[in-house]
Structure formats: C-alpha cells, structure tokens
Structure 1
Amino acid sequence: MSHSEPPVTDAPLVTAKNLSLEIGGRTLLHDISLELRARQIVTVIGPNGAGKTTLLRLLLGLSRPTAGSIHRRPGLRLGYMPQRMQVDASMPMSVARFLQLGQPGITRAEADTALARVRAQKLRNASLADLSGGEMQRVLLARAASRKPELMVLDEPTQGVDVSGQGEVYQLIAALRDELGCGVLLVSHDLHMVMAATDQVLCINQHICCHGHPEQVSRDPAYLELFGDKLAPYSHQHNHAHDLSGDVLEDHSRCNHDHSRREPGHE
C-alpha cells in the first residue's frame, strides 16, 4: 500500500459545501465541505460521536442537512457497505442469493465475479448466518462493488475483522478502486492502518479539524490532540478554525460553537 495518490482529472462525483445539521437544538455537524473524486480514497476519522456516520448519511441522501448543499453527479452509481448487518438465523440465505437480493439484473455470474474480487469465492454457497465477522465484511464489500459503482461508501469496513486481516481488507479496497476506477469514501477507527491505505484523510469532530494527505494530517496539532494520547479526554480548543489544508484560520468566528456534546450512538 502506498501514499502516492492516483491522478484525478474528472469533475467531482460529489461536492458538499458548508454542510450543517442540527437536531433538537443540538449541533451534529457544522460547516463541512468536501469533494469526492474518481480513483481517490478518502477516509473520515474522528472520535466516537463525531458525526462520521451522520456525514455519510447526508452524502448518500438518507438525511437532509439543516444548511449547506450537496451536488451528486447525475446518474451516479453508488455502492454502500453498512457498518454492521444483523442476520436472522431462522431465515437461512446463501451468500450468492444475498448478493442478488434487491439488486435487479445481477446474475449469478456477476455475483461470482464480485466474490472473486474480494477473494471470497469459497463462500458462494455458505449461509450468511454461518459467516465469521471477517467473512461477512468481505461479502458486504463484494455486494457494494457488485454493480460496478462510481463511488463506494464504506462504513467501518474492517469491523469484526481481526488485526491480521485488516490490512488485507484495505488492500482489497485499493484493488477495487484500481479495477473499477471508482472513488471510495470510508469511515474507519483503524488509525495506523488506514493512514497507509488512503489518499486523503478528513478528521472531524462535528467540524473539520484537519484535512489532507495522511502524512500531513498525522502531524497536524488537531489530529495529535485527538489521537496522540489515547488516555486523555478530547479537549480541542474552539477559538480557531482550520481550512482544508489543516492551517489555522485567522477568522475565529467560524469555529465558536460547542462540540462538547456528543452525538448519540457509537460511531
């Protein structure tokens, strides 16, 4: 895996400008802007409750922002991998059938190809209920890529995967990006692993703390304050703001809101 970023020449697949979301008087996201492009892997990181999954929902059109705008390329083909999936053991379903479920036009041959892309052909006839955590993540990744999406959105793609298998999952994601020519947006907690597997990092805690290439973000004071000491509570000072390069802005008024309240749920 390499930090070298593939050339990006196409117009953005998704452009989000100044997204904010408030629910019941609580600020869940504030002034988030980003672009997603073909052949580029962008990873969203942040503490629990930072709004990572909420941001994905906005970008997918599953929720509407309170302020700001989102533009998606017309006809954009999306592949989505949820953070987790509950399987009802009383309703047995094979992996091959699952890949076709709710996806009209996906043939058995295409399902087999999708499994081959993630090196999971042997799971074709297995029951979903019998899969290990790592096997389930591979199947979900195969489903996300089965319709040759222009953009894959992956929420915690290594959840349930042991440490030894996490690197391989990220290698598979990069290989899918290369084969399909798609953009990838993913949320991850695997800080050290993901830093070696992404082109851009977006570090958020309701707002953008820092953004840029992995090496740049890993040295940013905001990143170090969030993740440098795992035992210390997050105490980011909000008398400043960062631009998309991670530099401190002189206009303090852009970041004078309170992020001490956390979004419900575990993100």
Structure 2
Amino acid sequence: MTDRLVQLEQLTVRFGDRPVVDHVNLTVNRGDILTIIGPNGAGKTTLIKTILGIQRATSGKVLLTPGLVIGYVPQHLSLEATLPLSVKRFMMLSGRSASECEAALQRTGVAHLLEASVHHLSGGETQRLLLARALVRQPDLLVLDEPAQGVDINGQAALYDLIRELRDELHCGVIMISHDLHLVMAATDKVICLNQHICCSGHPADVSHDPAFIETFGNQVAESLAVYHHHHNHKHNLHGDVVNGNEPHGACDHEHH
C-alpha cells in the first residue's frame, strides 16, 4: 500500500442549498496525525463521515487507497440502555477472535473491564473501549471524532499519548476532530482549520499566527496558542500523571513564555 491513504479533491457536501463542506482538498498519508478544528457547525463531522462513506458527497472526489482499513471512534456510543452488554460481548461484535479482542483491550489499558457492563463505564473507559474496537481491525487509518470527549482533564493527556503510540506501532494515519486547541498543539503534526472551507492549515504553531485562524477563534485564543510549548520527553499513565521510569510525578507541565 502506498503512503497516501486518503485524498479529497474539491469535496463538497450540501444539505439543500447550504454547503456544509465546500471545495475541500486534503491528503492524509501513512504516519500523519492530522487534527481538524473549527467552530460548531463548521462541517468537521460531515467531512469525516464523507471519508468513511457514511455521508454522500454532492460533488468532488474521495479517493481511498485500495484495501484501506479504517478504524472509527465515534463521538458518542449510543446503545439501548436496557440492553445487557458486557465489554467482552461488545468487542466480540467486531467479528474478531476473543484473543484479538482481549489483546486490543490490553493495549488500550482496559482489559480488566472485560466482564463489566458498557453502561457503567466512565467517560475515559468508554473512549478506551471504542479505541480498542477500532484497534482490533488493525487499521491503516484511525478516524477519531472528539476522542477526549467525556474524559477528565487528567486522562486526556494519557489518551493522546496512546494515540501517538498506536500511530507509531501500526504505522497508520490518524485523523482527529478536537475542540481542545491546547491539546491539539501537543498532540498533532498538522492542523486543518475548517469553516465549511479550509481557512488555513499547517503546523499548529504556524496556524496560530494565520489571520484566518485569528478571525475564527479570536485574538485571545491565538495569542495563547502562539506562546504554547509542550515539552514531551515523558509519558502519562492512565490517570494523566507524568511517568518517568515507574514513578508518577504529577500533571504534565505546559510552559507559557
């Protein structure tokens, strides 16, 4: 398989007369971590649903590398509340073997919840379960819609650490949607600022200076991101604490100058 996984050419999606995604050109390569940001209603979820084939394009092209395997982590897990469903059973619905399912849960740090009800999981546990379900497919491309949704602040850094590790292990591409702009600065290689069309794109530190970004998010946000640095020579445990060796050392430092 080539390094190019997805290519969008002049992709447009209209709902009635309203363009929700407007003439978007985008390439995602193996090894990329690309994060889509933008205001509410900007078309972010519609864009990834079009890549997934859930939403039909009005015009333009979605070119996927032949044989591409996509692992999708949706924004919400919608299950019938009265349906008894354990973590093990939920994973087995993927059609993979029990050992493959358990290995994926182990990798995302929630293998101890194998017999737990999916209805009783915390936000962070649910996201790790959804990530395990995507991981068990051995994807070439991971697509994550707000992966830190419902995760407390201490667990978010650990979750983004895990996503980066999975990118390296699988040598896959990653597309994320995120509203947390400061986490984007630490977690991604490239940012796409979407507001129906692509306003600006590039490395996070460069995008924060772009006039289109400032117009979309305001001077205060842009200035705070422009001086943002994440010194990432450490790892986070499941609680978000910094771990050097085997000892946790509290929350991750983010320096502002």
Q: Does 1:28 align with 2:20?
A: yes
| Paired residue secondary structure (1:144) | helix
Q: Does 1:209 align with 2:199?
A: yes
Residue 37 of structure 1 aligns with which residue?
Answer: 29
* Whole-Å separation in 2 of the counterparts to 1:91 and 1:166: 29
* Whole-Å separation in 1 of the counterparts to 2:194 and 2:26: 12
Q: Give the structure-1-normalised TM-score.
A: 0.79
Query: What are the Cα deviations for residues 39-60 of structure 1, in whole angstroms up to 9, with x where unaligned?
Result: 1111000000000000001111
Query: What are the Cα deviations for residues 22-46 of structure 1, in whole angstroms up to 9, with x where unaligned?
Result: 2211111111010111111110000
Report if the CA contact (8 A) 1:117-1:176 is conserved: no
TM-aligned CA deviation for residue 125 of structure 1: 1.3
* Whole-Å separation in 2 of the counterparts to 1:229 and 1:168: 29
Residue 91 of structure 1 aligns with which residue?
Answer: 83
Residue 209 of structure 2 aligns with which residue?
Answer: 219
* Whole-Å separation in 2 of the counterparts to 1:94 and 1:109: 16
Residue 228 of structure 1 aligns with which residue?
Answer: 218
Report if the CA contact (8 A) 1:18-1:68 is conserved: yes
- The answer to which of 117-126 and 204-213 deviates more is 117-126
Residue 59 of structure 1 aligns with which residue?
Answer: 51
Residue 116 of structure 1 aligns with which residue?
Answer: 106
Report if the CA contact (8 A) 2:2-2:65 is conserved: no
Amino acid at match of 1:209: C
* Whole-Å separation in 2 of the counterparts to 1:64 and 1:92: 34
Residue 148 of structure 2 aligns with which residue?
Answer: 158
| Paired residue secondary structure (2:187) | coil
Query: What are the Cα deviations for residues 42-99 of structure 1, in whole angstroms up to 9, with x where unaligned?
Result: 1000000000000001111112211111110111111011110123332111111111
Q: 1:229 to 1:162 in 2, by over 3 A?
A: farther
TM-aligned CA deviation for residue 134 of structure 1: 1.3
> Would you tell me which structure has more strand in proportion to its own residues?
2
TM-aligned CA deviation for residue 170 of structure 1: 0.6
Report if the CA contact (8 A) 1:11-1:37 is conserved: yes
* Whole-Å separation in 2 of the counterparts to 1:13 and 1:134: 29
TM-aligned CA deviation for residue 228 of structure 1: 3.1
Residue 239 of structure 2 aligns with which residue?
Answer: none
Residue 65 of structure 2 aligns with which residue?
Answer: 73
Runs of 5+ unmatched residues, structure 2? 222-257
Q: Does 1:193 align with 2:166?
A: no
* Whole-Å separation in 1 of the counterparts to 2:58 and 2:82: 41
TM-aligned CA deviation for residue 11 of structure 1: 3.3
* Whole-Å separation in 2 of the counterparts to 1:46 and 1:16: 18
* Whole-Å separation in 1 of the counterparts to 2:13 and 2:44: 12
* Alignment equivalent of 1:177, drawn from 161, 167, 179: 167
| Paired residue secondary structure (2:194) | strand
Q: 1:53 to 1:131 in 2, by over 3 A?
A: same
Residue 3 of structure 2 aligns with which residue?
Answer: 11
| Paired residue secondary structure (2:105) | helix
Asked which structure has the greater RCO (Cα within 8 Å, sep 6+), the reply is 1
Residue 129 of structure 1 aligns with which residue?
Answer: 119
